[in-house]
Amino acid sequence: MRNRNFITEKVAIDAAGVEAFQQTRLLVVGDVMLDRYWFGDTDRISPEAPVPIVQIKKIEERLGGAANVARNGASLGAQIAILGLIGQDEAGRQVEKMLAEQAIQSYLQIDETVPTIVKLRVVARQQQLIRLDFEEEPANDVLLSKLAIFEERLPAVQAVIFSDYGKGALKHIPQMIQLAKAAGKIIFVDPKGSDYSKYAGVTVITPNRSELKQVIGRWQTEAELAQKAENLRSALGLEAILLTRSEEGMTLFRENSVIDVSAQAREVFDVSGAGDTVISTMAVALAAGWSWEMAMALANRAGGIVVGKLGTATVSWKELM
């Protein structure tokens, strides 16, 4: 019989809590990307095809994928290192520059055979018109060298976040998980795909509803969801599953325990990157010694704030407090 509880209390953050976050050390590993935004105006249709003509007025570049996870952790004051892949190109150099500006330690491997992953979004009238993705599968020898660096960096951190966007950077994640477990690290995974067996043994996974449905199928009731989640948690040897549920908030499944927290978003403007904010906030809080319940509540608050912003974004302490 599992106990089900609802978190209703507010998270109190004081100077000591902020200082504890600043002492945490995390390693983010995964698919590093550059998010590009072309903002413009559109008031006419092209004579060449039935598509809008957009006159570009502003261009913005932001860290994306695993780099956005790292950026979110750094915005909370944590000491963050990142391990991933980039191409030998302008986009890769821009990623490294932006990481340095955020005081994030970068251990990016350069793969000369592929471009840096770029997601280009064209936005007009507060709406995303199209997204263009530039990506290729990384070379295996570069991935193997990344595995060696991962093992070298483990002693310096308290926790590891694997940000899996299914782009190939985490081909050796089972080996990395075993190394992190042997070193006694807290391990977080933002999962991708329908095969979660590769994440066996981690501390917690943070799927959204559609991602979890790919693995356990649909559910009709909360009781059915709880049973399916427990079956998955037990089979993979996880300590917890944190399910992000958009307007329904979040649910944390642990052994003999289900905890819900309601959504806090005032207005949902853009959900891109919200999962990055949730996992980084949860990871920093747990690494700082917070309880599961309080870490979940803080991550929920952070996620509710970030979906009110356009594009991949971060949350500051001022906003959380």
Tens of pLDDT, residue by residue over 161-217, are 999 999 999 999 999 999 999 999 999 999 999 999 999 999 999 999 999 999 999
Asked whether residue 11 carries a pLDDT value surpassing 80, the answer given is no
Question: How many Å apart are CA 222 and CA 123, to the nearest integer?
Answer: 38
- The reported pLDDT for the residue numbered 220 is 93
SS (H, E, C) 123-178: EECCEEEEEEEECCCCCHHHHHHHHHHHHHHHHHCCEEEEECCCCCCCCCHHHHHH
Q: If you average pLDDT over residues 113-132, what whole number do you get? A: 94
- The reported pLDDT for the residue numbered 8 is 54
Q: If you average pLDDT over residues 230-247, what whole number do you get? A: 94
SS3 217: coil
Read off the tokens for 242.
């944190």
Phi-psi bin for 115: left (phi > 0), alpha (psi -120 to 50), beta? beta
Domain residues of the chain, as ranges?
A: 3-34+63-117+135-320
- The reported pLDDT for the residue numbered 142 is 81
**Inter-residue contact 66 to 29 (CB < 8 Å):** yes
Question: How many Å apart are CA 104 and CA 96, to the nearest integer?
Answer: 9
89 in catalytic set: no
Q: Which CATH architecture has domain 3-34+63-117+135-320?
A: 3-Layer(aba) Sandwich (3.40)
Which among 190, 260, 270, 276 is annotated as catalytic?
A: 276
Mean pLDDT of the chain: 90
- Cα Rg of the chain (Å, integer): 20
In the block, tokens 């809080």 appear at: 285
**Inter-residue contact 144 to 170 (CB < 8 Å):** no
pLDDT band at 1, cuts 50/70/90? very low
Higher pLDDT, 304 or 60: 60
Asked whether residue 6 carries a pLDDT value surpassing 90, the answer given is no
Question: How many Å apart are CA 114 and CA 137, to the nearest integer?
Answer: 7
- The reported pLDDT for the residue numbered 57 is 96
pLDDT band at 12, cuts 50/70/90? low
Read off the tokens for 30.
């995964």
Higher pLDDT, 268 or 136: 136
- The reported pLDDT for the residue numbered 305 is 86
- The reported pLDDT for the residue numbered 271 is 60
Helix or strand holding residue 286 (H, E): helix 274-287
Q: If you average pLDDT over residues 88-99, what whole number do you get? A: 98
> Pairing relation of β-strands 250-254 and 240-244?
antiparallel
Predicted TM-score (pTM) of this structure: 0.91
Asked whether residue 263 carries a pLDDT value surpassing 90, the answer given is no
Tally the C-alpha atoms within 13 A of residue 276's C-alpha that lie toward its C-beta: 32
DSSP state of 215: H
Asked whether residue 277 carries a pLDDT value surpassing 80, the answer given is yes
Asked whether residue 86 carries a pLDDT value surpassing 90, the answer given is yes
Phi-psi bin for 246: left (phi > 0), alpha (psi -120 to 50), beta? left
